[in-house]
Amino acid sequence: LRRPLLKLDFYRRMMEQQLFQYDLNQQEYVGQGPIIALIDTSSSMVGNREHWSKAVALGLAEIAGKERRGFSYVLFASGRAALITDDFQIGQRSPDKVIKLASEFIGGGTNFEQPLQWAMDKLRESTFSKADIVMITDGECAVSSEFLKELQKVKEQKQCRIYSILIGNNPKELSRWSDAVWSITDLFDETTVKELFQKI
């Protein structure tokens, strides 16, 4: 059962720093480039999985804001119009953009190549390097060998890293192009998110 008012209240309290947040001041950061979040909004993500993944994305936006790093995100599924994208201005966190991220949902199937292609285009357009790309998904979707070669080339040119969180088991496909993959079954286990935030 979806409760949009509770969800929006959660994100409001997060923006006002009324929720528990990790203290990352003592961590040594390696990347320091922009953060790009790729959030699966296929039909199987409806409910707690959607809320959890978007909360993680907003946590990444919080990190980017504190460290004055760029933050962009894409909500993805499958199909021609299955991408919703936006950018947060460095040092700013617009309530309208937060609400858009929290409330938009696509539905349908899963396609990894579309959001990864969008991220690659973003990196090519940018003068920044060492970006951290984070994908959160509950599905497995094949990426072609030709596409994988292009992705690896951009990763090397832009010195970026890709981290993936799979809500479920068998991260075989994600492991082909991710620098690290976490496979989780318990959304209330904070260990994975803490490890991700420390790497970012």
Half-sphere exposure (Cβ direction) of 136: Cα atoms closer than 13 Å: 25
The C-alpha atoms of residue 194 and residue 60 are separated, in whole angstroms, by 11
* 3-state percent breakdown (helix, strand, coil) of the chain, nearest 5: 40, 20, 40
Question: What DSSP character marks residue 110?
Answer: -
If DSSP states are collapsed to H, E and C, what string results for 1-52?
CCCHHHHHHHHHHHHCCCCCCCCCCCCCCCCCCCEEEEEECCHHHCCHHHHH
Quickly state the pLDDT bin for 4 (edges 50, 70, 90): low
189: CB partners within 8 A, 6+ apart = none
CB 71 within 8 A of CB 62: no
Question: Among candidates 164, 157, 110, 101, which has minimal Cα distance to 132?
Answer: 164
pLDDT tens digits for range 157-197: 999 999 999 998 888 899 999 999 999 999 988 899 999 99
Amino acid symbol at 109:
G
Please say if the pLDDT value at position 53 is more than 50.
yes
Residues listed for the chain: 200
Q: What pLDDT, on a 0 to 100 scale, did the predictor assign at position 43? A: 94
Q: CB atoms < 10 A from the CB of 103, how many? A: 12
- Decide which of 143 and 91 is more confident: 143
Q: What pLDDT, on a 0 to 100 scale, did the predictor assign at position 11? A: 66
171: CB partners within 8 A, 6+ apart = 164, 178, 181, 183
The C-alpha atoms of residue 1 and residue 26 are separated, in whole angstroms, by 39
Please say if the pLDDT value at position 52 is more than 90.
yes
pTM: 0.84
Quickly state the pLDDT bin for 128 (edges 50, 70, 90): confident
Q: Mean pLDDT lowest for which of 90-94, 122-126, 144-148?
A: 90-94
